[in-house]
Structure 1
Amino acid sequence: MAALKILMIGAGGIGGYYAARLAGAGHQVVLTARGSHLQALKADGLTVDYEGRVLWHGLPACDHQTLLRDYHPNDFDLVAIALKSTATGAVMSELCDWLRSGSVPVLSLQNGVDNEPLIAEVVGEARVLGGLAVRIGGHITEPGKVFAEGVAQIVMGAWPAQQPKDDPRADFLKVLEVAFNEAGIPTTMTENIRYELWRKLVINNGINPLSALTRLDTRSLTHHPQFRHVVFGMMSETVEASKADGVNLTRKDLEEMFELISSFNAIKTSMLIDREKGRPLELESIAGAVLRRCDALEVEAPYTSLVNALLNHGL
């Protein structure tokens, strides 16, 4: 198939890994980054350590000011966003005029369920693709270098859902599915991406905040005689919160997600890595998203409330 031109906004553990895979398959990938990581990418290229295999690519990389100056959105077939969800609002504000000047689809590959609405406010729902990275852990180890592990699947779909008839995004999603799979990224499509995003939030809320608090990996938490019950409780509260968005997850979803996370290898969560490195946590995008919706539904979320409060107080 013809090479795609892809802009990857955010070249950290997740964005860097997927960019390297896509570049290795012959697609033209441009990265955005900042600071010492950007300087290293420009000088020495992108190096990804994926479970003992090293992927290296010399890819164009720039900051957002350079992006606005040197590129037009329609230079790309796809804009993919792999930033921390805490940065989505600010980046949409920064790039809003630039994005609106084109018609390129925008794909979110981020944690949480509130990124796509922010993107849609800028470009309109018809250009938004929702996505989630499944069973992948990754982070920047030093400027220009990324570590990633896991199956590293992607699920994507038209947001908030694919229209029953004549959704122009449907054909493009088929192109992406083929391209990503041929690049070694196991990728599937869904007609109900909000459902899949909420299912991932069930795992993220069950594991990420508690891992940051206890400094334990996924396997240690799900197999601990006490903490596993807290994980299940926070996941259950997320299932309840989904009703506020009309997604209405069930006990079956809860049990499937708990079984899935319990089968993971011992992966350090992104929130644990952020805490170890002294970076801001994605609490508002994960636990906060659950608590806001539980408040709206007037239901209690004691596990999530407690863990969230302890982290917010620096414990």
Structure 2
Amino acid sequence: MKFAMLGAGGIGCLYAARLIQAGHQCVLVARGEHLQALQQNGLLVDHPDTQFHGSVDATDVAGLMKQHSCSSFDLLILGAKGGATQAMLAEMKTWLQGATTPILSIQNGVTNEALIEQQLGVERTIGGLGIYVSGHIVSPGHISAQGAGQIDFGAWPTAQDNPQMATLCQTLAEVFSDAGIPNRLYTDVRYALWRKLVINNGVNPLTALTDLKTGAITTDPILRRTVHTMMEETARAANAAGVSLTKEDVEEMFDLICNFHDIKTSMQVDMERGRTLEVNEICGPVIENCRKINQPAETTELIYKLLVNATQAHPAEI
């Protein structure tokens, strides 16, 4: 199959490497020094189960649209930051509308699929996320990653609502498995997205604010309690949005992050490197949906406010 990885960062490059090693074509869409390194020196991926060093087909968005037709791809995988989704789709609008190629989002947050649907319709939208994985660009062209690197996905918004995409997802599940990408197929992918947000909202903002890795956050008595509270607020927001999350879901996600590798979250790395944070994509839906039912997510609102103030205090760095 032929794939395009839109936003070939740490996690996107890991998945691309596995697909390439399995014999598939994968065009990596990146920018800046990372793109230059990919084009000149190839891709280097360091992962306990995936070692890759070789030349790759890499380009930017403009190059992708000039060098390839959208219809030549079997699947577009959107791995860019959530804050870039709308702008990227707008930039590619004409190119995308000339085909029927579906898009699979593997991004953080619960709002990306709705943006894809708005432009391309449910018949081309696949919801998803990368889970049990951490990956960062160590230096341009060099990726370090850890974790199983699983993709959880499904037809948007549900398999029942989108049977054509549900059938394609069955095929993709086999392709991913054959490429060494663990995966789980959901009939209602919204449940998977909100469960992942439980973890993202629980730890990502706190790691960015404190510059502590997840292990330090989850073993500190006060911060550990804060993580759990923000996870509970996320579950409350999910239920307000019509997605049923239980106390058991919260406890399972809490246990998972407490026993996962001691990692820097993507938001922590973005904070260190002066990049725009995914705080609106991660905290925003929690705050918004809890307000709708007049049960404010007070802890999430506090951490969100502190993060926004911290970034605004150094506007030249973001």
User: What band does the TM-score fall into relative to the shorter chain?
Assistant: over 0.9
Partner of 2:183: 187
Instruction: Using the TM superposition, name which of 180-189 and 47-56 deviates more.
Output: 47-56
Q: Which residue of the other structure, out of 280, 302, 306, is the alignment partner of 1:306? A: 302
Partner of 2:128: 131
Q: Which runs of 5+ in 1 are unaligned?
A: none
Q: Which residue of the other structure, out of 101, 104, 108, is the alignment partner of 1:107? A: 104
Query: Contact 1:46–1:56 (CA<8 Å) still a contact in 2?
Result: yes
Q: Secondary structure at the match of 1:207?
A: helix
Q: Which runs of 5+ in 2 are unaligned?
A: 312-318
Q: Secondary structure at the match of 1:160?
A: coil
CA distance, structure 2, for counterparts of residue 276 and residue 51 of structure 1: 25
- RMSD over aligned CA atoms reads 1.4
Opposite residue 150 of structure 2, the aligned amino acid is Q
Q: CA deviation at 1:171?
A: 2.5
Q: Secondary structure at the match of 1:240?
A: helix
Residue 117 of structure 1 pairs with residue 114 of structure 2:
yes
Query: Contact 1:20–1:57 (CA<8 Å) still a contact in 2?
Result: no
Q: TM-score, normalised by structure 2?
A: 0.95
Q: Which residue of the other structure, out of 25, 42, 45, is the alignment partner of 1:48? A: 45
Query: Contact 1:153–1:186 (CA<8 Å) still a contact in 2?
Result: yes
Alignment of 1:266-285 (within 5 A): 266-285=262-281
CA distance, structure 1, for counterparts of residue 49 and residue 214 of structure 2: 21
Q: Secondary structure at the match of 1:294?
A: helix
Query: Contact 1:80–1:107 (CA<8 Å) still a contact in 2?
Result: yes
CA distance, structure 2, for counterparts of residue 52 and residue 211 of structure 1: 26
Partner of 2:69: 72
CA distance, structure 2, for counterparts of residue 53 and residue 77 of structure 1: 24
Partner of 1:255: 251
Residues 257 and 53 of structure 1, relative CA distance in 2, 3 Å threshold: closer
Partner of 1:297: 293
Query: Contact 1:99–1:122 (CA<8 Å) still a contact in 2?
Result: no
Q: CA deviation at 1:74?
A: 1.0
Q: Kindly, what percent of the aligned residue pairs are identical?
A: 46
Instruction: Using the TM superposition, name which of 76-85 and 92-101 deviates more.
Output: 92-101
Query: Contact 1:30–1:60 (CA<8 Å) still a contact in 2?
Result: yes
Residue 32 of structure 1 pairs with residue 10 of structure 2:
no
Q: CA deviation at 1:170?
A: 2.4
Partner of 1:88: 85
CA distance, structure 1, for counterparts of residue 275 and residue 48 of structure 2: 24
Q: Secondary structure at the match of 2:301?
A: helix
Q: CA deviation at 1:14?
A: 0.9
Q: CA deviation at 1:185?
A: 1.0
Number of equivalenced pairs: 311
Query: Contact 1:23–1:57 (CA<8 Å) still a contact in 2?
Result: no
CA distance, structure 2, for counterparts of residue 83 and residue 118 of structure 1: 13
Partner of 1:221: 217
Q: TM-score, normalised by structure 1?
A: 0.96
1:91-120 deviation per Cα after TM superposition (whole angstroms, max 9, x unaligned):
011111211110011000000000000011
CA distance, structure 2, for counterparts of residue 146 and residue 297 of structure 1: 42
Partner of 1:241: 237
Q: CA deviation at 1:288?
A: 1.3
Q: CA deviation at 1:229?
A: 0.4
CA distance, structure 1, for counterparts of residue 234 and residue 305 of structure 2: 17
CA distance, structure 1, for counterparts of residue 143 and residue 134 of structure 2: 11
Q: Secondary structure at the match of 1:102?
A: coil
Q: CA deviation at 1:52?
A: 8.2
Query: Contact 2:18–2:50 (CA<8 Å) still a contact in 1?
Result: no
CA distance, structure 1, for counterparts of residue 111 and residue 298 of structure 2: 22
Q: Secondary structure at the match of 1:285?
A: helix
